[in-house]
Amino acid sequence: MIPRTGRGSASQSSTSSSSSSSLGVLHTVRSSVKAASQSTIFSSSSTSQRPYSSAGTTGTGTGSGSEPPLRDRLAQRSRVTNLGIVLLLSLLSLSVLLNLRSSYLLHRTKHSFHGIPPPGFSTWASFHGLTPDSIRATAAEPINGTQNLNHLVLVVGHAVWAGTEFSGKDNDANWILEHYQLGGSVRTYWKHIQRGLDLANEDPHALLVFSGGQTRPQALQTEAESYFSLALASGSKLPVFPHIDQLKATSHEPIAAQDESTGDAVPPPVTSAKVGKGAHSNAAIATHPAPLGLQGLRMTTENYALDSFQNLLFSFARFREYTGRFPERITVVGYNVKRARFEELHAKAMRWSVKSVWSGLKRWTYVGIDDEGIPKKAHELQAEGEYLRGYSWFAKDMYGCHGNLLEKRKKRNPTRRFHPYFTSAPEIADLLDWCPPEDSGLQGIYRGTLPWDLRVSGDQGGWGRGSLPYKDQLRKNGWKPLGGGPDSRKGWFSWLHADRERG
C-alpha cells in the first residue's frame, strides 16, 4: 500500500516537473524575442557579432537568418547623441549664412558684373578695372598725340647723377655710385641715355621712359629723374610730339618784374609759369627749351623699379599710366651683358614674345652697350658677376620675390616707396602681385590673361607637364597665388580691354 503522502509527493513532483518544463519553454521564447529585438535595434552591426535570429534560436546561437531589407533598416529608429545634434545644427546655420552672403553680394552687383568679386574687394563696384574716379579726376588729360604712341623705349637706370653741369657727366664725383661702378661706368650710362634719345627721335610713335627708383639713401632724386635731368642738361635734341614747334618754347625765359605775383584774386594759368635765372643752375629744371614744359616731350620717368625685372614690368605700367594704353613694341637699352637676363627670363616672366612681329616690325629689340676701355679681366668679372648674382638668381626666382632678390629690393628701397600701378594699370594688378613658390623657375610663370597675350586663359590653358604639381597646389589654394593676391584664371580680368582709357 502506497502511503498517501507518497502519491502526494509524486503528484507534487510531476507538477513541479511540468512547471519547470513550462518555465523552460517560456524562457526559451523570451530569449528568442529578446534576441530578435536586439537584432532589430543593432541591425547595422556585423552578423558575426549579433546575428539576426529566427524563432526558436537563442541570442547566443549562430542562427541562419538573413539581413532585413534596406528599406526596413532605414525606417528603424537610431540613436543620436546630443553632440551629433549640435554639429548638424551648426552645419545647417553655417550653410544658411553663406547662402545669405552670396545672395547679398549677387544682389549688390547684379547691375554690373555677375559673381563674387576678387579677394580683397567687397564689391565689384570697388574694382571696376579703371583708375578710380577720385584719382583720375586729378590727372590732366593726356596731351594730344599720346593716342598715337605704341612703342616703348626703355632706358634702364643704374645710378644717380647728382651733378649740375653737363660737362661733368663723365666724372665719378658727380654721381652716386656703388663701389663696383667706379672707374668708367658713368660714360656708359650717358651712352644709354643718348641711344634712348636717338631711338625716340627716330620713331614719332615712341615714348622714351627712364626707369629706376630712389635706390640711394643719399639722393632725393630717383635714378630715372637723374637720367631725365641729364638728358635735359645735355642740349641734345629731345623727342617731342610731331605737332609741337619747339622753337616757340618759353619755359627757359627768366622771370621779369611784371610777371611776379601781384596778389590778384585770379592767378595766371599754370602754363604761364617761367623759370627764374637762378634756377638754370639746377639741371632738374627745364634748361632745354622744352615745349609747353615737360609735358610736351615724348619722354617720362618710371620712379619705382628696384631691379631689372621691375624696370621692364613697371615701364609697361608707366606707359599705360601715361598714355592710357599698353605698348605694342618695346626696345630696351642697357648693358649687353644683361641681354640674356632680359630676353630669356624677364620677357618670359611677362609672357612677352621676343620673336613676334607687329605690323611688320619686331615687337622686341634689345640694344646692348657695355663699358668700353676696361681691361679684359674686368669685363670677364662683369660677365661672371652677372651670371652668379643676376641671371642664376632670376632663373630660379623669375619674379624676384624670394631670398637674395627680395633682400636686394629691400636694400634699394631705403625711403619706403610704393608703386601706384595697382591703381593706374589695374589690368595687370595680379601680375604685379604674382609670386610663385621659391625655386619654381619656369614652372611658376604667371598663367592668367594679359592685355598683350590673351592666348593663355582658363583653368586648363597653358599648363605644361612640368608645372602640374604647382597647378595642384594652386587648385588646393582656391586658384589664388601661393604668394597672395588675386588671379586671372577665374575670369576676373577677362572683361577688361587693353585700350585707351576714356573719361
Round to whole Å and give the CA distance between 55 and 119: 66
d(CA 450, CA 432): 11
What is the model's pLDDT at position 118? 47
Residues 238 and 378 in one domain: yes
Radius of gyration of the chain (CA): 40
Establish if 247 belongs to a structural domain. yes
Do residues 69 and 150 both lie within one domain? no
82, three cell numbers: 546630443
**pLDDT for the residue 418:** 92
How do residues 195-214 score in pLDDT, each as one tens digit? 999 999 999 999 999 999 99
| Whether residue 321 sits in one domain with residue 177 | yes
Pair 68, 181 in one domain: no
pLDDT of 458 above 50: no
Q: Are residues 201 and 295 in the same domain?
A: yes
CA–CA distance, 213 with 315 (Å, rounded to integer):
12
Of the candidates 389, 424, 459, which is a domain's last residue?
424
Phi then psi for residue 397, to 5 deg, are: -130, 80
**pLDDT for 137:** 76
Q: Which H/E stretch holds residue 329? A: strand 329-334
- 98 φ/ψ sector (left φ>0, alpha ψ -120 to 50, else beta): alpha
Between 487 and 287, residue with greater pLDDT: 287
What is the arithmetic mean of pLDDT over 122-134? 54
Grade residue 292 by pLDDT with cuts at 50, 70 and 90: low
- Regarding whether 232 and 318 lie in a shared domain, the answer is yes
User: Three-state SS across 156-212?
Assistant: ECCCEECCCCHHHCCCHHHEECCHHHCCCHHHHHHHHHHHHHHHHHHCCCEEEEEEC
Highest mean predicted confidence (pLDDT) among 259-268, 417-426, 464-473: 417-426
Of 303, 288, 309, 325, give the one whose Cα is nearest residue 424.
Answer: 325
Name the 3-class secondary structure at 52.
Answer: coil
Residue 469 domain flag: no
- Whole-number Å distance between alpha carbons of 105 and 107: 5
Q: pLDDT digits over 155-197, tens only? A: 999 999 988 888 888 889 999 998 888 888 899 999 999 999 9
pLDDT at 74 over 80: no
Nearest CA to 206 out of 24, 99, 331 is that of: 331
Q: Residue 385 and residue 13: Cα distance in Å, rounded?
A: 115
Helices H / strands E in the chain, number of each: 15, 9
Residues 153 and 196 sit within 8 Å (Cβ to Cβ):
yes
Q: Rounded distance, CA 391 to CA 183, Å?
A: 24
Decide if 46 is inside a domain: yes
C-alpha span between 135 and 112 (Å, rounded): 21
Q: What is the pLDDT of residue 8?
A: 44
Q: Are residues 158 and 36 in the same domain?
A: no
Q: How far apart are CA 294 and CA 496, in angstroms?
A: 31
234, 283 Cβ separation under 8 angstroms: no
Task: Answer yes or no: is 377 within a domain.
Answer: yes
Q: Please indicate, yes or no, whether residues 293 and 397 belong to a single structural domain of this protein.
A: yes
- Average of per-residue pLDDT values in the chain: 73
Q: Cα separation of 311 and 350, whole Å?
A: 12
Same-domain status, 413 and 285 = yes
- Rounded-to-integer distance, Cα 501 and Cα 486, Å: 22
Residues 191 and 46 in one domain: no
Sequence length of the chain is 503
CA distances from 10 to 3, 13, 114, 136 (A): 11, 5, 97, 119
Residue 459 lies in a domain: no
Residue 87 resides in a domain? no
Same structural domain for residues 294 and 384? yes
How far is residue 78 CA from its own chain's centroid? 52
DSSP state of 389: I
Domain hosting 53: range is 17-75
pLDDT on residue 282: 61
Q: Give the pLDDT of residue 48.
A: 43
Question: How sure is the predictor about 340, in pLDDT bands with cuts at 50, 70 and 90?
Answer: very high
Looking at the structure of the chain, the number of domains it has is: 2
Strands (E) in 79-157, as ranges, are: 151-156
Nearest CA-CA partner of 402 in 343, 489, 482: 482
Same domain flag for 25 and 160: no
More confident position, 78 or 95: 95
Q: How far apart are CA 78 and CA 45, in angstroms?
A: 12
User: Which DSSP string corresponds to 88-107?
Assistant: HHHHHHHHHHHHHHHHHHHH
User: What is the per-residue pLDDT for 42?
Assistant: 45
The string over 28-38, giving b where at least 16 C-beta atoms fall within 10 Å of a residue's C-beta and e elsewhere, is: eeebbeebbeb
In this predicted structure, what is the pLDDT of residue 304? 97
Q: What is the pLDDT of residue 482?
A: 44
Contact 351, 455 (CB under 8 A): no
Q: Among 392, 424, 456, identify where a domain stops.
A: 424
Q: What are phi and psi of 386, to 5 degrees?
A: -60, -40
Q: Are 405 and 413 in contact (CB under 8 A)?
A: no
Q: Which residues are bridge partners to 358 per DSSP?
A: 361
Q: Identify the domain boundary among 372, 396, 424.
A: 424
Q: What was the pLDDT predicted at 429?
A: 84
DSSP string, 270-289: GGG----GGGGG-TTS--S-
Q: Is residue 370 part of a domain?
A: yes
> For 155, phi and psi rounded to 5 degrees?
-110, 120
pLDDT greater than 90 at residue 308: yes
d(C-alpha 413, C-alpha 416), whole Å: 5
Could you tell me if residue 241 is inside a domain?
Answer: yes
Asked which of 178-187, 239-248, 405-414 is least confident by mean pLDDT, the reply is: 239-248
Q: Alpha carbon 391 to chain centroid distance?
A: 22
